[in-house]
Amino acid sequence: MEKTDTVLEEMLKNFEEKINRGDAIEPKDKMPDGYRKHLIRQMSQHAHSEVIGMQPEGNWITRAPSLRAKQILLAKIQDEGGHGLYLYSAAETLGISRSELINQLHTGKAKYSNIFNYPTLNWADIGAIGWLVDGAAIVNQVSLQRTSYGPYSRAMVRICKEESFHQRQGYEIMAKMMAGTKEQQEMAQDAMNRWWWPSLMMFGPHDGDSPHTGDAFKWKIKRHSNDELRHKFIDKTVQQAEVIGLTIPDKDLKWNEAKGHYDHGAINWDEFYRTINGNGPCNRQRLAHHIKVHNEGAWVREAAEAYRAKKEKAIFNN
Ligand code: FAQ
């Protein structure tokens, strides 16, 4: 056996022992290339989702119905930008640069969540995003707090705290509209009808059709499967909808006593794959906007880099 093979085997053994003990893997630890690539893919897609997700909500900042609502929405969108930054920084610890991550987004190599390719047509959509989209994101991210990669899991702890505020502000908007006029109630129900199914798609394909789940479980990146988390989200959301008088747009939704959760109707996977492969209602608009703003911001990055280089020179010359 070659010496390099022995070193590699030893490295793999140490890594697997750590994973099996439930220890966190840290940036300077040796890790298999597959683990590193898997994380870069997932974490970068997660970061891109946070940042692209600012667009549908940003569309309503100037039209928020009150100063209070505008302040809350501004704070929420700013939080999402911050989440993107934590996640990009965490992904960079795996040895990829921010500019490469952004390049992968712009060239279509990296995905972002299906959900942000739908339009926000009225104020009720802002309620639906907070309640359903952030609600789904929390279920997924609470599980990821125990993911095996240290920087990712620590980012999740902080992000989850902020997401629960986001979910409540969305639910408050929906509850207010449901306590309002008939037109407001209809707007809220219409938003619910449009956002429900894409929110269920956020959890990814069914377990049997999810190519990455096997490795994700083996490496403890995922702690729960796509379907387990989807069910968790449905079970808690059905009750919240009932409290404020909204109807879940699924005639096949039924409590399953034996399984201890709701069974749901068929998800339109053609729509899901069409959307994540670039052909949803707003994909081109979302990406074009990101590219435009990124290019317009080049001077800010250049100025920040020049400032950093100047500081570094001053420190080393002293
Ligand atoms: N959208 O084998 P799997 C938020 C892709 S944050 C697009 O099951 P995996 C906060 C998947 O990438 C929301 N693509 O994959 C907010 C793969 O394609 P690839 C983002 C999806 O990774 C709120 C293929 O399908 N959260 O909302 C989606 O094991 C409001 C096969 O799938 C995260 O990213 C999808 N929904 O499981 C911000 C959480 N689902 O890469 C602003 C972290 C699957 O081979 C406003 N991510 N695909 O080309 C995860 O937990 C996982 O990556 C899953 C997918 C569960 C999303």
Q: Ligand 1: distance of its center to the CA of 58 in Å? A: 22
pLDDT at 3: 67
List pLDDT tens digits, range 254-300: 999 999 999 999 999 999 999 999 999 999 999 999 999 999 999 99
Q: Where are the domains of the chain?
A: 32-317
Nearest to 93 by CA among 27, 26, 24: 27
Give the distance from CA 176 to its chain's centroid.
26
Q: What CATH number is given for 32-317 in this structure?
A: 1.20.1260.10
143 CA from centroid of ligand 1 (Å): 14
Q: What is the pLDDT of residue 317?
A: 85
Residue that has been written with the tokens 């796509």 in this structure: 226
Please give the distance, rounded to the nearest whole angstrom, from the Cα atom of residue 176 to the centre of ligand 1.
31
Read off the tokens for 81: 């930008």
For residue 259, give both structure tokens. Answer: 């399984």
Which atom of ligand 1 is closest in space to residue 54's alpha carbon? 42
Per-residue pLDDT tens over the stretch 189-205: 999 999 999 999 999 99
In degrees rounded to 5, what are phi and psi of residue 253? -70, 125
Q: Which atom of ligand 1 approaches the CA of 42 most closely?
A: 53
Tokens at residue 171, please?
Answer: 């639910």
Q: Please choose, from the candidates 116, 102, 114, 94, the residue with its C-alpha nearest in 3D space to the C-alpha of residue 31.
A: 94
* Residues of the chain below pLDDT 50: none
- Can you give the pLDDT at residue 1? 56
Q: Whose CA is nearest to atom 42 of ligand 1?
A: 53
226 CA distance to ligand 1 middle (Å)? 10
Q: Which residue is it, tokens 């420190």?
A: 315
